[in-house]
Amino acid sequence: MEPMANRRWRAAVATVMLAFAGCGGGGGDSAEPVDDVVRLQPGDRPVRFRLDGAVSEETQRFTVETLQWAHADLGDSGPLTLHIYSDAERFITAYTAEFAISIEDARLELAGGQTAFAAPGGHIWIYLGNYEQVPEEVRREALFHEYNHTLQEWQAEVRFQSQDRAERSFVPRWMVEGCAEYLAVKAGARRGFVDEKLERMYVVDEATQSSEVLQDLETAGQAGFIGGTGAAYTVGWLGCERLTTVRGEDAVAHAFWLSMAKQRDWQKAFAEAFGVTPAAFYKDFETWRATL
């Protein structure tokens, strides 16, 4: 991929909705039952499908194959349900039935290029109108990113959110989005569908232009729906890279989230997983970032 193309696609891919963690059930059945097809992932996990009639065999095959890779490479994230819609109106009907979002806002998200997002309880939603317009490798990377969110939730056992720091369910947005993206890029590079060097160049370029410090991105830095990648994804990506340098990829992918299940407090989980307090890490990170 060319850098500029990459940048353009990135805007479409980065629109992700864990922001809904606090306000949607996500676990119930859609009011729009369509065609349930049960498939098996490695580990005999049933993957449940909610599809509309126009979802092609090839799209299903491609999506299942990619999620099988994600499962094998990133770890088990529990039961998964895929909601795949080819038609915008059906997508909006099913989506607004499950989440506290208006029809108007849902339309705006699709118009802004939303391809896929994850919701609590192992739900991955895909809108084919946008998903099928991006290159194959971008679709794979988007699925790896969303799969990472299902893994975060499964391991943390908490329906965490990134809006209210005072709640015990709080996890910084830069960790949720930055680590999902960073780990998707690392795993995608190992599978050969991501150019890691190019991705990092893009991220460093974006991060050096951003004036927001990492700590601000605990709640800020969400991706905009009409283009643009939120700093939680780019500066957060570097935050997770830095944590990996210090404590290894496993701490970022697993140990922190597992500790969250135990501690029910992100600052304690952070200290346990990375051996440093968030405050000390933020200081170290900004010093390091200034050298980029």
Binding footprint of Zn ion on the chain (CB under 5 A): 16, 177, 180
CA 105 from centre of chain = 20
Cβ at position 287, least distance to Zn ion in Å: 27
**What is the edge-to-edge ordering of all strands in the sheet holding 123-127?**
39-40, 46-51, 80-85, 123-127, 116-119
Minimum distance of Zn ion from residue 58's CB (angstroms):
25
Give whichever of 87 and 212 is closer to Zn ion, judged by the CB atom.
212
| Identity of the residue, 20 or 69, whose beta carbon is nearer to Zn ion in the bound complex | 20
Instruction: Give the dihedral sign, CA 244/260/233/212.
Output: negative
Decide whether 141 or 177 has the Cβ nearer to Zn ion: 177
Residue 167 CB neighbours (<10 A): 10
Alpha-carbon distance values, 121 to 26, 118, 150, 153, 154 (Å): 7, 9, 7, 8, 8
Per the listing, tokens 């099913």 go with 94
CB of 97 to Zn ion, least distance (A): 22
Q: Strand, coil or helix: what is 173?
A: helix
Find out whether 259 and 269 touch, Cβ atoms under 8 Å: yes
Q: Do residues 22 and 119 make contact, with C-beta atoms less than 8 angstroms apart?
A: no
Q: Of 34 and 126, which CB lies nearer to Zn ion in the complex structure?
A: 126
What is the C-alpha separation between 69 and 83, in angstroms, rounded? 19
Quote the least distance from Cβ 217 to Zn ion, whole Å: 13
Closest CA to 145 of 213, 53, 92, 73: 73
Shortest reach from residue 177's CB to Zn ion, in Å? 5
Task: Indicate the residue among 34 and 179 with the shorter CB distance to Zn ion.
Answer: 179
d(CA 185, CA 124): 19
Task: Give the Cα separation of 198 and 213 in Å (integer).
Answer: 23
Cβ closer to Zn ion: 106 or 179?
A: 179
| Least Å from the CB of residue 240 to Zn ion | 12
Residue with tokens 């990472």: 148
* Closer residue to Zn ion, CB minimum distance, 34 or 207: 207
